[in-house]
Amino acid sequence: MLREPTLNEIKAHITHYVEHIKPPIQTLLDYRKKIACESPPINNCNIKRNLANTLLFISDRPNYYFLRMSSALRSLGYSTIFVTRWGASPDEAQYFDETFLYDSFSDLEVLADLKFKTIFVQSWIGWFFLPVYIFFISQSKLVCNINDSPSLLFDKHKNLEKLGLQLAEYTMDLKCENFIYNNFNKVLTPYFTDTEFSQNSQNRNTIFLPCYPINTANFQLSQLHIHTNKLLFAGGIPYDHKPDDVFSDAKLQNIMRQLIEQEIDVTILNNPQLETTRHNYPYFFELSNSNTFFTFKAGIPPWDLREIAHNFYYGLMIYDFSETIVSKKHYENIIPTKVFTYLEIGLPIIVSTEMKQVAALVEEKQLGFSIKHNEIQNLKQIIKSKSNRYNHYKKNVAKYCETHNFTYLLANDLSNILNP
CATH number of the domain to which 359 belongs: 3.40.50.2000
User: Could you report the per-residue pLDDT of 224-239, keeping only the tens digit for each?
Assistant: 445 568 999 999 999 9
Phi, psi of 398 (to 5 degrees): -65, -45
Domain around 351 = 221-403
216 within domain boundaries: no
Residue 402's H or E segment, with its range, is: helix 390-403
**CATH number of the CATH domain containing 143:** 3.40.50.11720
- Do 47 and 150 share a domain, yes or no? yes
- Do 180 and 246 share a domain, yes or no? no
What pLDDT is attached to residue 76?
A: 92
φ/ψ region of 6 (left if φ > 0, alpha if ψ in -120 to 50, else beta) reads: beta
- Do 40 and 82 share a domain, yes or no? yes
pTM as predicted: 0.92
- Do 195 and 282 share a domain, yes or no? no
| Banded model confidence at residue 416, pLDDT cuts 50, 70, 90 | confident
Q: What is the mean pLDDT of residues 174-179?
A: 96
- Do 170 and 235 share a domain, yes or no? no
- Do 142 and 254 share a domain, yes or no? no
User: Could you report the per-residue pLDDT of 23-41, keeping only the tens digit for each?
Assistant: 999 999 999 999 999 999 9
- Do 155 and 34 share a domain, yes or no? yes
- Do 388 and 412 share a domain, yes or no? no
Q: What is the total count of domains within the chain?
A: 2
| Banded model confidence at residue 112, pLDDT cuts 50, 70, 90 | confident
User: Could you report the per-residue pLDDT of 277-296, keeping only the tens digit for each?
Assistant: 999 999 999 999 999 999 99
What is the rounded distance in angstroms from the CA atom of residue 105 to the CA atom of residue 150?
Answer: 22
Strands 118-123 and 98-101: unpaired
- 44 CB burial (10 A radius; 0-12, 13-18, 19+): exposed
| Banded model confidence at residue 199, pLDDT cuts 50, 70, 90 | very low
Q: Which of 8-17, 46-55, 199-208, 367-376 has the lowest mean pLDDT?
A: 199-208
- Do 175 and 225 share a domain, yes or no? no
